[in-house]
Chain A
Amino acid sequence: MIPVAFTYKRAGSVSEALELAAEHGDDAKFLAGGHSLLPLMKLRLAAPEVIIDLTGLRDLSYVTDQGSHIAIGALTRHHDVEHSDVLRREVPLLAHAASQVGDPQIRHRGTIGGSIAHADPASDLPATLLTLDATLVAQGSDGSREIPVGEFFQSLFETALEPDEMLTEIRVPKPAAAGAWSFQKFTQRAIDWAIVGCAVQDGRIGLVNMGGTPLRATAAEAALSDGAAPADAAAHAAEGTSAADDIRATRAYREHLARVLVSRALTEARSRV
């Protein structure tokens, strides 16, 4: 219930946050909304010695239309992504996916950047950004760089972020047909993490919780672009995945769910055109 003791530092700017990160190295973790990190710390599964609080960086909370893409500040809360007029119009898939994260209280705190950097394959947003072919902007002591989402998620809870880097922005290209999307999240209870989930947009299919990272259902995508009907393309949805066995579901059941959800998602996305 109580985290191991740590030193709290509040960052007033991105550069201050990066200085603190450089100073404390492996001993420090960034704190954004805190709803990925603090639960781990309360169970003492994580015990950083220094916490660098980013929640004061309000100028990293924004959603702006940049023409070809939407720029979202890393510290934009799920609640604000969900209710963004810009996103509802231009990338409704992302606005909807954000509305599915946790519960309203969690969405008032959790941030898109925090969720992405935490890289839990069972989270809704990583797979959604994978589907949207987003680009992540990271800032480090050497300046900033752009990381394509396909290179961002490396393994379970591991991303391409260097220890001295922080996410500052997520760039989401506007989909060709914004309305042709679907998000299928299969759970036992509304509050649960996805047992399996999928996001569909522009012929791309992202899978939630089918491996150590969010995955693209590339075999299904190939079948689709070859002209297969949704149900036939979806038959390939589990190929190349490595779903877990746990108390909620076996691997075989997850693979079955992936096929069903992708079929439904492709059908729904089409029907919205």
Chain B
Amino acid sequence: MKVDLTVNGKDVTADVEDRMLLVHFLRDVANLTATNVGCDTTSCGACTVLLDGESVKSCTVLAAQASGHEVTTLEGLASDGEMHPVQRAFHQEHGLQCGFCTPGMVMAIVSMLKENPHPTEEQVRQGLEGNLCRCTGYHNIVRAALAAADEEKVTA
């Protein structure tokens, strides 16, 4: 079937199997490979993207369901070559090691901060319950989320 998505501001139209998962549409059809597949039970969050501005696990959304909607991936986060505050904070705070969970983490935090601009550490940790990381122990990811919140507070 034909699906028509807006991905990072650009139209992407393709004829795909009805069962195509959004994550594979993004990776294999739109050729945006930053979004990763880390599991098959909607558990790990590596595939997190924004769908109409809200974080979703793209492995559990059909491309067909996203047709007619807007998707933002990590690749679409920076604007005019400037990193998003969350990307910047991850760099400053060493919030990534191997980088595999990172796109999903970043998108989850972007969405979290939209909904709760000044989270406590506890809220950040609870908010990341659906995003697994094996390398960082989460300590610096949490610091990055709080630092990004602070930066947005300062610049808002």
Q: Given A2-B19, A43-B40, A51-B18, does the pair A104, B127 have CB atoms closer than 8 Å?
A: yes
Say if the beta carbon of A273 comes within 8 Å of chain B.
no
Known: A106-B42, A106-B130. A5 touches B19 (CB 8 A): yes
* Closest-CB distance, A253 to chain B (whole angstroms): 23
Output the least CB separation between B7 and chain A (Å): 18
A182–chain B nearest beta-carbon distance, Å:
19
A8 at interface by CB-CB < 8 Å = yes
* Total residues of chain B contacting the partner, CB 8 A: 32
Q: Which of B58-66, B70-78, B83-91, B138-146 contacts A (4 or more CB under 8 A)?
A: B58-66
Q: Which of A92-142 contact B (CB under 8 A)?
A: 102-106, 108-109
Task: Report B8-25 residues with CB < 8 Å from chain A CB.
Answer: 17-19, 21
Please name all residues of chain A whose beta carbon is closer than 8 Å to the beta carbon of B129 when the two chains form the complex.
103, 189-191
The total of Cβ contacts below 8 Å across the A-B interface reads 87
Flag whether A203 is at the interface (Cβ < 8 A). Answer: no
Q: Are A102 and B130 in contact (CB under 8 A)?
A: yes
> Does B35 touch A at the CB level, under 8 Å?
no
B5 close to A (CB within 8 Å): no
Chain B residues, Cβ within 8 Å of A2 = 19, 21
* Contact A42–B40 (Cβ < 8 Å): yes
Given contacts A8-B18, A190-B129, are A105 and B57 in contact (CB under 8 A)? yes
Interface SS, A side:
loop
Report A151 CB to chain B, min CB distance, Å.
31
Residues of B within 8 A of A51 (CB): 18, 62
A1 part of interface (Cβ distance < 8 Å): yes
From B116, which residue of chain A is reached at the shortest CB distance?
A: A104
Asked if A108 and B51 sit within 8 Å, CB to CB, the answer is yes
| CB <8 Å contact, A35 and B40 | no
> Which chain B residues (26-73) contact chain A, with CB distance < 8 Å?
37, 40-43, 45, 48, 51, 54-57, 59-62, 64-65
Judge if B156 is at the interface, Cβ distance under 8 Å.
Answer: no
Q: Is the CB of B42 within 8 A of A104?
A: no
> Which residues of chain A are within 8 angstroms of B57 by Cβ–Cβ distance?
105-106, 109
Give the residue name and chain of the A residue nearest to B18 (CB): A8
How far is A6 from B17 in the complex, measured between Cα atoms in Å?
9
Q: In the complex, what's the smallest C-beta–C-beta distance from A56 to chain B, in angstroms?
A: 9
Asked whether A201 is an interface residue with its Cβ less than 8 Å from the other chain, the reply is no
In the bound complex, residues from chain B placing their C-beta under 8 Å from that of A53 are 62, 64-65
Cβ contacts under 8 Å, A79 to chain B = 54
- Would you call B6 an interface residue if the criterion is a C-beta within 8 Å of the partner chain's C-beta atoms? no
CB within 8 Å of B: which A59-103 residues: 79, 102-103
Q: A1: which B residues are within 8 A, CB to CB?
A: 37, 40
The residue of chain A having its C-beta at the shortest distance from the C-beta of B40 within the complex is A1
Can you list, as one digit per residue, whether each of A38-54 has a CB less than 8 Å from chain B (1) or not (0)?
A: 11001100000001010
Q: Roughly how many angstroms separate A8 CA and B19 CA in the complex, as a whole number?
A: 8
Question: Would you give the shortest CB distance from A189 to chain B, in whole angstroms?
Answer: 7
Instruction: Collect the chain B residues with CB atoms within 8 Å of residue A39's CB.
Output: 41-42, 60
Q: How far is the CA of A34 from the CA of B130 in the complex (A)?
A: 16
Task: Report yes or no: A6 in contact with B19, Cβ–Cβ below 8 A.
Answer: yes
- A residues bordering B, Cβ < 8 Å? 1-8, 10, 31, 34-35, 38-39, 42-43, 51, 53, 55, 79, 102-106, 108-109, 189-191
CB pairs A–B below 8 angstroms (11 shown): A5-B18, A8-B18, A8-B64, A34-B61, A38-B60, A38-B61, A42-B60, A104-B55, A104-B108, A108-B56, A109-B60
* 20 more CB-based (< 8 A) A-B contacts, given A38-B61, A38-B62, A104-B111: A1-B37, A2-B19, A34-B61, A34-B62, A35-B60, A39-B42, A39-B60, A42-B21, A42-B40, A42-B59, A53-B65, A104-B55, A105-B45, A105-B48, A106-B57, A106-B60, A108-B111, A109-B57, A109-B60, A191-B129
